[in-house]
Amino acid sequence: MNITVVGAGYVGLVSAACFAEMGNTVTCIDVDLSRVAQLKLGVIPIYEPGLEPLVQSNVKDGRLHFDSVLAPAVALAEVVFIAVGTPPHEDGSADLRYVLAVASEIGRSIQQYTVIVNKSTVPVGTADKVKAIIKSELVRRGVEIAFDVVSNPEFLKEGTAIDDFMRPDRIVVGADSESAKEIMQALYAQFTRNHQRTIFMGVRDAEMTKYAANAMLATKISFMNEVANLCERMDVDVANVRLGIGADARIGYHFIWPGCGYGGSCFPKDVKALIRMSRDVGFEPKLLQAVESRNEAQKLRLFEKIEDYFGDVKGKTIAVWGLAFKPRTDDMREAPSVVLISALITAGATVKAYDPVAMKAARDEFPESYFESGDLRLVDGQYEALIDADALVLVTEWKPFRNPDFRAMKRLMTGSVIFDGRNQYDIPYVQREGFTYFGIGR
């Protein structure tokens, strides 16, 4: 098929590359001229394992193209994916201006029957708005061209997005016409050859499905963090509790690791947006509000433990391992590390931090004043961060951090305390190596 993907961000770029890999002709559009120029050269603006060679090979083979001009690509496309950002407003609602602006340009550009697909995470009812805008543009042009608007939310996990797209556990398609269903079925057929995973439903149902899925996962995380905090006060090891409840197939082990809170581009934004949608229709989302509240508090839990241990962190040097919100990504959005480091510096501590891939993103995330004052130093290696440190804080559980050389760490550090924000370390072993250990719920 001839496909146009609007937006060369995380979702758009992964989608475009994977569709091209299956033989489709794909044009990926972005308004950022610098980004487009870099992509044409095979330079990828985000870190995602496997994405760079996938983009480069499909560009080389002529299946994947990048451009900044939408109209010619839309005119030729059978399917147009809208994959632009929907950043949150201050009240938590999704900002749809980019989605609606693209819809307007599509209405000015389509020349034949086209399926327009909302790939961006958008509130319930957005497809209706997109449809109305395209219709109004066609009326303004004085032409009648058939089209359908479909909801096809993404369920990509940062760090495994290529595998998630190529081997999906489900493909949710919200479509109201048989023509749109047939085209979407054909488009995804090569991704579901071994097992039918496409679930068709109403457009509004699909829009809600994405929010409900992310809110459920966020709920599991916040619930386990709530249990962990209770365990700390009752002399219970939450690691054993996790094993006990995870063995129940109705619960499972996924997303019940206690820790220092969830972050990233999806869970925080989508929970906030679902809360806002609820209030807009006169419903008070008590559970969702609790999920968000627990997560915000959990991001401060490591700082509270550090402050309780030292009494006063002023003048202390704290080593931080891990800056991205989770391993296998450089995404710093809503990362617990940002809350922790900001709190430490405000309290007078100096921070030395290291992350395998998120150093550039971290440089952009924190205020320049942190670096100018020397309060925050981004170092070149995990052991360099430990030199003369009074404490180590593990925030992101990258594999190189999981089984480090504790004896070398002891020699490098001034202090001998570890704050494990992801419960990665074996407590007896760490203690035998001479460290004081604090985990989450342990």
Reported as half-sphere exposure (CB side, CA atoms, 13 A), residue 200 has a value of 13
Catalytic residue among 18, 28, 260, 266: 266
Whole-number Å distance between alpha carbons of 130 and 122: 11
Phi and psi, residue 209, nearest 5°: -55, -45
> Which strands form 64-67's sheet, in the order they lie side by side?
64-67, 25-29, 2-6, 79-82, 114-118, 147-151, 171-174, 198-201
Does 266 participate in catalysis according to the annotation? yes
Whole-number Å distance between alpha carbons of 234 and 441: 10
Whole-number Å distance between alpha carbons of 249 and 379: 43
Tokens, residue 437 = 């250990």
Read off the amino acid at residue 7.
Answer: G
Question: What DSSP string describes 9-76?
Answer: SHHHHHHHHHHHHTT-EEEEE-S-HHHHHHHHTT--SS--TTHHHHHHHHHHTTSEEEES--HHHHHH
Cα separation values, 381 from 319, 378, 389, 391, 398, Å: 11, 9, 14, 16, 13
Whole-number Å distance between alpha carbons of 317 and 112: 63
Question: What DSSP string describes 215-264?
Answer: HHHHHHHHHHHHHHHHHHHTT--HHHHHHHHHTSTTT-STT----S---S
Angle at 225 between CA 282 and CA 89, to 5 degrees: 40
Q: Which residues are catalytic?
A: 266
